[in-house]
Structure 1
Amino acid sequence: MMWSMMWSLWKKDFKTYMADRQAIFTIFLMPVVISTILGFSLQSMFGTAGGVSQIEPLELAVVKGYEGVGGVTIGKPYSFEAFMEDLAANPVGARVVAEMGEDQMRGYFEDVDPEAIFFEDFLGSPELAQTLGYTVTDLTTAERQLAADEIAGIVVLPENFVRGMYVNLLTPLRSEVEIAFVENTARGVSSKLAKMMLEGFAGYLDSVIDNKNVLIEQRIAAGITLEDTDWGSRPDSGLTLEQRGVRALKPVDSKGYYTVAMMSMFLLFTAALGGYLLLEEKRQLTYDRQRAAGLSRWSILLGKLALIDAVALIQILLMIVWSTLIFRISWGSPAALAVITLATVLGIGGLGLLFMTVAAAFDNIMISKVFENGLNQVLALVGGAYIPIETMPALIQKVALIPINGVILKVYLYNMMGYSLPELMPYVGLILLNGLVFSVAGILVFRFKEVKAHVDHNVPTAVDAESVL
């Protein structure tokens, strides 16, 4: 009997809610509209215009500033003879030649190939070849490709690249070699990633050169001749890129990101809906009539919670179906998706329960209004709904896991990228923990205020006492 009555009340509440056009537009249609607009307009932050990847294609144009169009060398080639002339013009360089001899210097010169270090050991390394491609071209062609958004950036090797590399690697002298990188501002993530790779290469070479110079100085101080020091060999084994925790994950494009981002944000509006449900029934005396009909206050509360959960579930399913059919978005493992969705519904339900009990207990809707009109936007920003959280400072990225919407966003994105269910469970657990804390807090508020109200109604007032007398 009680369950039948609860079911009837739930159906009535659900029909009433679905008849509210403003609520339907805000909760169900707004996420679809906004995610579609942002998904198309912010594609450049995630890679190609086709939305294939966040960081693909990582194609670069390399311009040899020391060569002309068609490989014609500017000026004379940097030969061994030119190298020896440069050394002889410097007192330290002259000492190097005097101590090591011309034959040994020639052997080192022939063993070191600056172009091979950059193009083969760095750009052609197995680690980078999987994510980065390049073509050697002239500056005019590279600029045209950049303007047409065909490449992620232009790498310009300076005119003194070959000479400077020889001097830096084979002598105690220093020659400033400044590699220029022209970013494609239309590709925020991929262009910045390419720049970081080049900075890593430059940093590695700096460390090699610094260590070499320290070694030479120590040997000179110890009275060891440079001829006995093997410091001119090509650093093949040292030039590697260390990749930690990198695996073949599926990229998420702008449409996928903002579909999840808007869904997580508008789920907060669904939770705020709870603030209106029970309070409205109390003010219309519907709550008292339900109590008089034999329903306990916990049964009524459970029915409202079920309504919030149902609305949240419809929101999620609508976004999944819409994005799958229209954007061809893959949401990842179906099993993991089901687990994440269930946890999300329960977590949002817990937050809605807290809003519901606080509003009803204190007979004030302000908490939901403040949340809808201000706090919700702050949580959305911190949780990554507007700006991809990976582009924010490290502190903000950590704070993003505090609000429940930030955790929801991350776990859905991770499932899209191909993380396994065991790897997703910590985030699922965090959502459930949020829901549990919210639910317990809401139940305690509801129970305390109900008991207090019951006690207050049984205490005679001064007017009651006079009437009895």
Structure 2
Amino acid sequence: MVTVSALELRTRLRDGTAIVIALIVPVTLATLFGLALGGDDPPLRATVGFVDLDGGEFPASVRREVLASDELKGAVTLRDLPGQEQARRALDAGEIGSAIVFPAGFSQSVGAGRGGGVSVLTSPEAPLAGVVASAIVDRISAVVDARTLAVRAVLRAGVPGDEVKELVERNGAAGPFLSLADDPLSGGKVDLSVYYGSGMASLFAFFVVGASFRGLLTERKLGTLDRIRAGPVAAWVPVVGKGAVGFALAVVSVCVCWGSSTLIFGTTWGEPVAVFAVLVAHVLAAAAITMLVASRVRTDAQADGVIMVVSFVAAFFGGSLVPLYDLPEPLRAVALLTPNGWTSTALTELAGSGAAGSIGAVAGPIGVLCAIAMVAGGLALAGFKKGLLL
């Protein structure tokens, strides 16, 4: 197998097209797309419903803080709604992406040290609005908890009720007050150069690894495959030997795309170990799919055509050419049938979370990619055993 792999590698490197397909073209296209279309994405726009059944100072303060927040300015719009039922109808109709509901008596309950609960209504159709509303309510909860504990402590100390508010505020638990110093949208922005860099890497992984399996068909046509099999060589050696070279070249290709994107645009794809694991899993799935194609077609010309169609269809529906959020909802569901869709989802998650994203956060997509590789690889081996090549 080592001899077959060495011969395949020498042949691929001697043929200049291998370098072009594996390195030059994907890096060039990713760079051009990134320069033309780079920038923070997706567009940060969210409409959050605001239901104030309390009418007290606390909800009014929250409103002032949200509207004054530099982080949310131009990105978040508050829409007043008279009640929770109206908020639900607006949410179902897509008029708002989420809603914050302050119940009646909220300010009085917090001021008396009894705490209080704020409801958040979200929709899976508008995840950004849900993130914003949840971040705001998390801050409200922290303020309420601090205020409640302070009031209870003062009351237990025997301070008269009419002096509680002044004493609590004088000792640093003034409320209502909401700080949005941290950006609740941080971690949600992904530069388009990351989309297109990973997209080109995912697309050309099919071409790079597919060239090796296509070579099996070429050698069968030229008769060299029969001469290899005539020697003391196991039947699986040509397939594994060529496949190993294609896999290695594809891994190098996706890693070069990753590195060039990071160096040229100064962006991050996320935590390196997790990114590498996703890329390797994608190449594994691409190798299995192209091997399946080689086991089913009869000529190298057919293999070229089918691999090209499969590659571009998977790239389009999987978010490699068009970001997934730009696709209609039905097509976003189709994306999860492609390895590119899972790769794009995983890399977007890692790029959005930055260094905080661990391999555990993308274990699901990696598992799906490996499952695709196992299924496609198993079908390919079944095709080879039927005598199409071996």
TM-score interval (norm. to shorter): 0.5 to 0.7
The aligned residue for residue 240 of structure 2 is 302
Distance 1:342 1:23, change over 3 A: closer
Q: 2:198 matched to 1:260?
A: yes
Distance 1:42 1:293, change over 3 A: same
1:339-378 to structure 2, matched below 5 A, reads 339-359=277-297, 362-363=298-299, 365-372=301-308, 374-378=309-313
- Give me the TM-score of the superposition, normalised by structure 2: 0.66
The aligned residue for residue 415 of structure 1 is 350
Tell me, yes or no, if the aligned pair for 1:17 and 1:23 is still in contact at 8 Å. yes
Q: Which of 106, 110, 132 lines up with 2:72 in the alignment?
A: 132
The aligned residue for residue 397 of structure 1 is 332
Query: Within 1, Cα distance between the matches of 2:306 and 2:204?
Result: 15
Question: How far is the alpha carbon of 1:433 from its aligned partner?
Answer: 0.7
Deviation digits for residues 158-184 of structure 1, max 9, x if unmatched? Answer: xxxxxxxxxxxxxxxxxxxxxxxxxxx
The aligned residue for residue 387 of structure 2 is 449
Query: Within 1, Cα distance between the matches of 2:33 and 2:376?
Result: 31
- Give me the TM-score of the superposition, normalised by structure 1: 0.56
Deviation digits for residues 222-252 of structure 1, max 9, x if unmatched? Answer: xxxxxxxx99x99x99998654577752632
Question: How far is the alpha carbon of 1:443 from its aligned partner?
Answer: 0.4
State the secondary structure of the residue aligned to 2:4.
helix
Distance 1:130 1:429, change over 3 A: farther
Query: Within 1, Cα distance between the matches of 2:270 and 2:56?
Result: 48
Tell me, yes or no, if the aligned pair for 2:278 and 2:366 is still in contact at 8 Å. yes
State the secondary structure of the residue aligned to 2:190.
coil
Letter in 1 for 2:301: I
Moved more, 295-304 or 384-393: 384-393
Unaligned runs of 5+ in 2: 46-54, 88-103, 111-115, 122-129, 136-183
1:60-459 to structure 2, matched below 5 A, reads 120-122=61-63, 124-125=65-66, 129=69, 131-133=71-73, 152=74, 194=75, 197-198=76-77, 201-202=78-79, 204-207=80-83, 243=130, 248-249=186-187, 251-359=189-297, 362-363=298-299, 365-372=301-308, 374-418=309-353, 419-449=357-387
The aligned residue for residue 31 of structure 2 is 36
Q: Percent identity?
A: 22
The size of the alignment, in residue pairs, is: 297
Query: Within 2, Cα distance between the matches of 1:268 and 1:280?
Result: 18
Query: Within 2, Cα distance between the matches of 1:301 and 1:341?
Result: 22
The aligned residue for residue 22 of structure 2 is 27
* C-alpha RMSD of the superposition: 3.6
State the secondary structure of the residue aligned to 1:297.
coil
Query: Within 1, Cα distance between the matches of 2:299 and 2:192?
Result: 42
Moved more, 314-323 or 17-26: 17-26
Deviation digits for residues 64-93 of structure 1, max 9, x if unmatched? Answer: xxxxxxxxxxxxxxxxxxxxxxxxxxxxxx
Letter in 2 for 1:37: L
The aligned residue for residue 50 of structure 2 is none
Question: How far is the alpha carbon of 1:268 from its aligned partner?
Answer: 2.2
Query: Within 2, Cα distance between the matches of 1:296 and 1:278?
Result: 15
Letter in 2 for 1:17: R
Tell me, yes or no, if the aligned pair for 2:213 and 2:242 is still in contact at 8 Å. no
Query: Within 1, Cα distance between the matches of 2:310 and 2:196?
Result: 20
Tell me, yes or no, if the aligned pair for 1:43 and 1:254 is still in contact at 8 Å. yes
Tell me, yes or no, if the aligned pair for 2:5 and 2:242 is still in contact at 8 Å. yes
Distance 1:346 1:121, change over 3 A: same
Question: How far is the alpha carbon of 1:24 from its aligned partner?
Answer: 2.3
